Amino acid sequence: MTLLFGLITQLLHVALMLAAGPVLIGAIRLLKARLLGRTGPHVLQPWRDLLRLFRKQPVLAENASWLFRAAPAAAFAAILAAAALVPTFALGMAGGPVADLLVIAGLLTLSRCILALAAMDIGTAFGGIGASREMTFSAFAEPALLLVIFTLALLAGTTNLDVIADALRGGTYGLRVSLGLALIAAVAIGIAENGRIPVDNPATHLELTMVHEAMVLEYSGRHLALIEWGVGLKLLVWMSLITTIFLPFGAAPAGASPLLWLAGLAAWAAKVGVLAAALATFETVIAKMRVFRVPEFLGIALLLGLLAAVFLFVSQGLA
């Protein structure tokens, strides 16, 4: 019975993530437009764009290799695999036992490396600029992320997300300075990993300031659609990750009845909605920073992650 429930929640979860990714992007765009006094596009506009792109035949550069053609699907698959492992409305999904935080981080890195390689495949300056900057940012973001994972693992005794989420949901650990610091670090990393302002501007059309957009400049048609979909999915993965760990209330426990799933769904939607609103507001009031400030920004996240771990040692009295 539990297995059946796990399978059903897993499938529902994946479908939900796939559907909601572009909606999240649409909602953020709409909110930002409203905050700037514009009417803004419809919430479903990203979905319409995606469907239109999927119906278009891609144009490849003359010297594009097989890697360039395979990269969008491969990168999307890596993000989707990560998305399948991050719980949303219910814990105890079929993928729960393998949902290791290090694996999730690794899958996201995998997708980034694939796209960075594809960016260099055509041999244009923009592709190189994007790949180089993306990999530099990730060199700073990953250690910070690992320190956050380190803190969580020290608390819960494992790096398995399902177990951590369950433990945090139970409220055994209460409010912790460490968790607060880890949350700040996680938000900073999430902003950088998803290429949001102030690290990167997802809406820019000025090549020299682009990071992620510069990487995918050569893509068109269904390839571009997969990449755009992946961007939305990845943002949703990050938001779900942050809500699961730091705002754990509301999610249905393992083996709970479908009625609780609905409650979990509502809670999750509310939490992600709040995060999306916060992100839109933040992006409206803040300016993009210079590229060489980003390592510093992520360095701060890294130091906060370190502080989180150190404070945990103090309060846990492991000494």
Partner 1 sequence: MEPRITYGAFAYDVAHLLGGGVLALSFVLLYQRRVTAVINTYAMQAVVLAMAAAWQGLVQGAPHLYVTALIALAAKGIAIPLALHRIVRRLDIHRSVETALGIFPSMALGVALVALSILVVLPTTMESQALTREDLALALSVVLLGLLMMITRRTALTQVVGFMSLENGLILAAVGVAGMPLVVELSVAVLVMIAFIVFGVFFFRIRERFDSLDVSHLDRVGGAHR
Partner 2 sequence: MAAMTLPGLALGGFALFVAALLLVGAAAVARPRFAALGALPLCAAGALLALAYLIGGAHPAAIAVPIGPPGVAMTLAIDGLSGFFLLLLLLAGAAASATALDDHQGEYAATAPFFPVFLGAMALTLLAADAFALVIGFELMSLASFALVLTHHRDEAVRTAALLYIGMAAIGAACLIPALALIAQAAPDLRFATLRAHPPEGWRAVAVLALVLVGAGSKAGLAPLHVWLPPAHSAAPGHVSALMSGAMTKVALYVLIRVLFDLCGPAQPMWWGLPLVLLGAAGAVLGGLRANMEGDIKAVLACSTVENIGLIAIGLGLALAARAVDLGQLAALAMAGALLHAMAHGMFKPLLFLCAGATQHGAGTRRLDRLGGLIHRMPVTTACVLVGGACLAGLPPSSGFAGEWTLFQAVLGAPRIGGIFLQTVISVTALLMALAVALAAAATVRLIGVAFLGRPRSPRAAAAVEAGLPARAGMIGLAAVSGLIGLFPGAVLALAGPAQHLLVGAAMEGRAGGLVIAPQADAPGYAAPAIAALLGLCGVLVAMAVRRYALANGAAGHRRGPAWDGGFGAAPAWLPFGDPLTQYGGASFAQPLRRSLGTTLLAARESVFMPEPGDTRPARLEVALHDPADTHLFQPAARARDALSGLADRMQFLTIRRTLSLMFIALVLFLAVVAAMEQM
Return residues touching partner 1 (CB under 8 A). 172-177, 180-181, 184, 295-296, 299-300, 303-304, 306-307, 310-311, 313-317, 319
Q: Which of partner 2, partner 1, none does 139 bind, CB closer than 5 to 8 A by kind? A: partner 2
Q: Which stretch binds partner 2 (CB under 8 A): 26-34, 37-45, 48-56, 248-256?
A: 48-56
Binding mask 148-167 for partner 2 (x = CB under 8 A): --x--xx--xxxx-xx----
How far apart, in Å, are the Cα atoms of 256 and each of 4, 88, 166, 253? 12, 14, 13, 6
Nearest to 102 by CA among 117, 80, 85: 85
* Cα dihedral: 201, 202, 206, 209 (round 10): 40
CB 311 within 8 A of CB 181: yes
CA dist 82 and 227 (Å) reads: 15
User: Shortest approach of partner 1 to residue 156 CB, angstroms?
Assistant: 15
- Shortest spacing between CB 33 and partner 2, in angstroms: 26
Give me the helices (H) in 173-255, please.
177-193, 212-215, 221-246
Could you tell me which of 122, 79, 78, 134 has the C-alpha nearest to residue 217? 122
52 to 71: interface string for partner 2, x by CB under 8 A: --xxxxxxxxxxxxxx-x--
Give the residue, chosen from 31, 91, 147, 280, that forms a contact with partner 2 under the rule CB under 8 A: 147
Is 103 among the residues that bind partner 2 (CB under 8 A)? yes
Residue 100 phi/psi, 5-degree rounding, is: -85, 135
CB of 184 to partner 1, least distance (A): 7
Kindly indicate which of the ranges 31-39, 167-175, 181-189, 288-296 contains the residues binding partner 2, using the contact rule CB under 8 A: 288-296
**Of residues 33 and 61, the one with the C-beta less far from partner 2:** 61
113: contact with partner 2 by CB under 8 A? yes
Q: How far apart are the first and last CA of the chain?
A: 43
Residues 73-92 that bind partner 2 (CB under 8 A): 73-74, 76-78, 80-81, 84
Which residues is 135 bridged to in the sheet?
none
